[in-house]
Amino acid sequence: GQQVMQIPQYQHVQEGEDFTTYCNSSTTLSNIQWYKQRPGGHPVFLIQLVKSGEVKKQKRLTFQFGEAKKNSSLHITATQTTDVGTYFCAGRGNFGNEKLTFGTGTRLTIIP
């Protein structure tokens, strides 16, 4: 079955530093979504990427979808304490009503 891996599993950064998490799928995806889960909360949708090579920005967050539609990345510029949480990618395969498969997640902690 489809597997979605994320690296790193954990990342500790000084406030103001940049942060990147990488997502890799074992199969080609029709689209990829990103979610953020704050400590003690539930995952909340951030964005969906559909096109090969697509890049989308949300303020300090930049999301990329690979040309082969098998990998993606989330980059945060100049991290803030509000960025703390676990970031999950989630990919959907190409067949019909295929379910969304979540990645393993990257937990980001910020050192003030």
Q: Which residues of the chain form contacts with another protein (CB under 8 A)?
A: 1, 31, 33, 35, 42-45, 48, 86, 88, 90, 92, 97, 99-105, 107
Computed on alpha carbons and rounded to an integer, the radius of gyration of the chain in Å comes to 14
Contact indicator for 29, 62 with CB cutoff of 8 Å: no
Beta bridge partners of residue 12, listed in sequence order: 109
Instruction: Please say which residue, 51 or 99, places its beta carbon nearer to another protein.
Output: 99
State the nearest-atom distance from the C-beta of 8 to another protein, in Å: 13
Q: Nearest CA to 74 among 63, 58, 85, 87?
A: 63
What is the CB neighbour count within 10 angstroms for residue 95?
8
Q: In angstroms, give the least distance from the CB of 109 to another protein.
A: 12
Shortest reach from residue 77's CB to another protein, in Å: 24
Nearer to another protein, 33 or 79 (CB): 33
Minimum separation from the CB atom of position 57 to another protein (A): 18
Q: How far apart are the first and last CA of the chain?
A: 41
